[in-house]
Amino acid sequence: MQKAGSAPGKLGETKVTKPLWLNAEITFRCPLHCVYCYNPVDYARSGPELSTDEWLRVLRQARELGAVQLGISGGEPLMRDDVEVMVAEAHRLGYYANLLTSGVGLTEKRIAAFKEGGLDQIQLSFQDSTRELNDFLSSTRTFELKSKVARLIKQYEYPMVLNVVLHRLNIDHIQAILDMAEAMGAEHVELANTQYYAWALLNRDQLLPSREQLQRAEAITNEFRARVGSKMKLYFVVPDYYANRPKACMNGWGSVFLNIAADGLALPCHEARMLPGLTFPNVREHDVRWIWHESPGFNAYRGDAWMKEPCRSCPEKTKDFGGCRCQAYMLTGDATNADPVCDLSPDHHLIAEVVDQAQIAQPRVSVHPIVFRDDKNSRKLSEESRPETAPAP
Amino acid sequence: MSERRIAPDAVCSLERQYRLQWEPAQECYVLLYPEGMIKLSGSAAEIMKRLDGKTAASGIVQNLEQAFPGVELREDVMDFLEVAHAKGWIRAG
């Protein structure tokens, strides 16, 4: 089976492919305050949210370009009361519509309207399996509510899709997390380790697990998978810091993924707004066709003309596209460098040192306290010049 | 000949998470599922379009042989249904 994001892209020529995935971050508002959130740390200074009509226009324009998978995300998308309108229009246009939610705000009335409107899938995020840790990590009391929402999802005959973000503080609870997923009747479970962007980068010292933690969690996951068999599809995603080759980020810049943020900014990934020297277009000022095909921002790292060594002459450049531009920028200060996850990168020590540090039993909690994603912290971070730049290792 | 897992009287339908639709931008029928898309060949699409949850596999073969007269399709159709079943695209009742 081929995932939409895995269509092979050919480098060496800059052929513009279709944006198969439209991710609509319809709001940055969120009742949760997750310490690993990938929303921009300075979201508090982003402009006003797109209106309903503006979103419907984006849906139509992207669909005309060939977008077929739609993610309705945030923030917490259910903070808006017009999701029902967007879902119905998305279905009418022929999107496969996915709602990515913490579950907060998903009442029976709303889920009934989503079903009626043609929503195809709901992905429910869980912070952890134990109420105490779940509440600590998301900084609210939401665990019982999520269990209720999980029952609603079943009742309305949606497949039970769970996303659990793993990190140093919850990864040792993996058995309990898996048992919870089974008890809820989850059919598809993604155990995704935190990737270190935005808020997660600020909290990296606290969140990066040790190698031993990862190996143990993966072994438990494999045992569990062998026991439950095909009734649950189970994915375990290792943090890229523990890899020696970078991820094929977004399947290549401007290749299949189109992210529209709450304020209308069009981006080739969730994080790209932090990259310096690039101006990204706003759907308030440009149509999606121009944005995808013509805008300098979307063309900046298409193809391989921008690459430096060791990527430029690397035979693997057609597989991983040099990794992630944002990670290259965050860690090396230059977005055209190889992603330092790659052990061929001259900057790989930047990753290796952080990984070494994570093997020490006590994280360096004294460096700074864990930073919750909330408006107050975001306003404070908005005033700092380059908040996403990693602390010196 | 190995024993088939899809019997001629089996009624096949799309699995719950899958949706079949014509995709103008791809100029072909596709199967959509969470976070993914499978492009179907013309013959695969002709079979998939006929999985209405009522017609047995043998009926689908008949139906196709009427639509495309003069061609022996049974083996190809049954082979495709088995592949689709093994991939989890369809269920057989």
The pairing of beta strand A69-73 with beta strand A96-101: parallel
A17: tokens are 């492919």
Average pLDDT over residues A298-327: 95
The pTM score is 0.89
Q: Tell me the per-residue pLDDT of A267-303, one tens digit each, with 9 for 90 and over.
A: 999 999 999 999 999 999 999 999 999 999 999 999 9
CB contact under 8 A, A66 and B17: no
pLDDT band of A11, cuts 50, 70, 90: very low
Residue A239 pLDDT greater than 90, yes or no:
yes
E strand spans, chain A: 21-25, 69-73, 96-101, 121-126, 161-166, 188-193, 233-237, 257-260, 266-267
In angstroms, the Cα distances linking A132 to A129, A193, A305 are: 9, 20, 50
- B88/A57: higher pLDDT: A57
Q: Tell me the per-residue pLDDT of B9-59, one tens digit each, with 9 for 90 and over.
A: 999 999 988 999 999 999 999 999 988 899 999 999 999 999 999 999 999
Average pLDDT over residues B62-81: 90
Does the model's ipTM exceed the 0.85 cut? yes
Q: How far apart are CA A122 and CA A140, in angstroms?
A: 21
pLDDT band of A183, cuts 50, 70, 90: confident
Up-side HSE of residue A218: CA atoms within 13 Å toward CB? 13
Three-state SS letters, B46-71? HHHHCCCCCCEHHHHHHHHHHHCCCC
CB contact under 8 A, A18 and B25: yes
Specify which of A13-22, A37-46, A259-268 reaches the highest per-range mean pLDDT.
A259-268
Chain B CB contacts of A21 under 8 Å are 35
Average pLDDT over residues A92-100: 97
A120 in B contact zone (CB under 8 Å): yes
CB contact under 8 A, A159 and B21: no
Mean pLDDT taken over chain A: 89
A328 within 8 A of A275, measured Cβ to Cβ: no
CB contact under 8 A, A66 and B25: yes
Q: Tell me the per-residue pLDDT of A145-175, one tens digit each, with 9 for 90 and over.
A: 878 898 999 999 998 899 999 999 899 989 9
pLDDT at A145: 80
A323 within 8 A of A341, measured Cβ to Cβ: yes
